[in-house]
Amino acid sequence: MATTIIDDGVSTSAATVTGRRAGPRDEHRAGWLLSIPFLVLYLIFLVGPAVYGIVMSFFNATTVRPGLGKSVGFDNYRSILTSSDFWSSMGHTVWFTVLTTPPLVILALVLALLAERVHRGKALVRFIFFAPFVLPVTSVTLIFLWLYAPEIGLIPHWFETVGLTPPNLLGETKWAFLSVAALTVWWTIGFNFVLFLAGLQEVPRDVYEAAAIDGASPLRTLTGIVLPLLRPTVVLVTMLQILASMQIFNQMYLMTAGGPGTSTRPVMEFIYDTGFSDYRAGYAAAATMVYFAIVLVVSVVWFLLRRQSNKEVGA
């Protein structure tokens, strides 16, 4: 994954050009042969199940029984598209994305800029910001369940210290979103931080020097040089973050289980609940396809934006 991310589209084309010049036909064949193990696994574990999922969405398939069951045509899609439960869970996912994306992009950029300026102990600073990201989700949620716990938790205690009545951090819908969003920012900011650091290192030293010689203030250097040169990374991180936030399931399921009621249930949990707990595999498959289409639209937007920004940088 990391290689595709850092790939700016320019180096690849150069590589293929040289490859074509030197490469006779059997080099192509070797390439295919070497890809076969990957392609086989890809077909069996990704393409196969995805196609099966599409087929399943047209049947009244049951999770606990083999086979597809009765064909229902577009009924599953019809009832998903008119299901208020599905759309409200979609709304919860979007709200979570809105809550998490800005801090995870802006804060990560600020942290990266600060870390870049550190002269001594840079590795330590990087480690500190990246460390939470390597924790498994179960540990993170366990830590935060304790922090948020009413009466005994640290965060309610802080509220009391400054004289405020602590809110029900996980039991009240609006606070539950904020609480899980805060957890997510703390937990995953390290990943974006590292991407921004890599982007910052791509900025040539001599540009800084030229700016310094011209007498540009640090702020001017930042807005006039660093940020424009960092634009591809910003677009990339933003879009990756939107896609990641739209897939929210783990933290939400472990912290609130979608509650109170289903008021924080993200769309992934809706699919899990209908597909596994209610045994409605076909219906859940249809929900997955609708959700997939929405994520696909977002990805296409990402692709177009990325191409745009690459072009501008290349020009």
Partner 1 sequence: MPEGSEDRSIAASVSRRAVLGAGAGSVAALLAGCGSPVATGLFGAAPPTHNLTYWNLFTGGDGDNMVKMETAYRRAHRDVQVDATVLTWGTPYYTKLSLATSGGAPPDVAVVHLSRLDTLTKAGLLSAMPTDELSAAGLPSDKFTPAALRKATIDGAVHAVPLDTHPFVMFYNVEVCRKAGLLDASGKLKPLNGPQELTAALRAAQRVTGQYGGVTTVTNDPSTNWRFFATFYYQLGGTVLADSGTRITLDDDKAVKALTFMQSLTRSGLLPKSVDAGGTTSLFSTGKAGFLFDGEWQIPTYRDTPVKFDVVPVPHVFGPKLVAFADSHALVIPRNSAMNPERRAIAMEFIKSLLDSSAIWAEGGHIPAWLPVRDSADFEKLRPQANYVAAATAAEYDPPGWYSGAGSQFENIVGAAVATSQTTSQSPAGAVRAMRSGLQPYASAIPPVG
Using CB under 8 A as the criterion, which residues of the chain lie in contact with partner 1 when the complex forms?
Answer: 60, 62-65, 70, 72, 75, 79, 83, 85, 171, 260-262, 273, 276-281, 283
* Least distance to partner 1, CB of residue 37, Å: 24
- The encoded tokens of residue 282 equal 């076909």
Distance CA 27, CA 8 (A): 25
Per the listing, tokens 């949990």 go with 269
Helical spans, DSSP H, in the chain: 2-6, 10-22, 25-42, 48-56, 75-81, 84-117, 122-130, 137-148, 154-161, 173-202, 205-213, 218-221, 227-246, 250-255, 267-272, 281-314
- The encoded tokens of residue 244 equal 């990641």
* Least distance to partner 1, CB of residue 144, Å: 18
* Least distance to partner 1, CB of residue 230, Å: 44
Cβ neighbours of residue 188 closer than 8 Å, sequence gap 6 or more: 104, 132, 133, 244
* Least distance to partner 1, CB of residue 176, Å: 12
Nearer Cβ to partner 1, position 70 or 205?
A: 70
Distance CA 44, CA 206 (A): 49
Per the listing, tokens 């300026």 go with 117
* Least distance to partner 1, CB of residue 94, Å: 22
Nearer Cβ to partner 1, position 79 or 247?
A: 79
Nearer Cβ to partner 1, position 71 or 299?
A: 71
Nearer Cβ to partner 1, position 130 or 272?
A: 272
Nearer Cβ to partner 1, position 24 or 261?
A: 261
* Least distance to partner 1, CB of residue 289, Å: 17
Distance CA 55, CA 70 (A): 12
* Least distance to partner 1, CB of residue 64, Å: 4
Nearer Cβ to partner 1, position 108 or 273?
A: 273
Partners of residue 59 on adjacent β-strands: 71
Nearer Cβ to partner 1, position 177 or 283?
A: 283
Longest Cα–Cα distance in the chain: 76
- The encoded tokens of residue 212 equal 């310094």
CA distances 1 to 22, 130, 234, Å, are 27, 17, 17
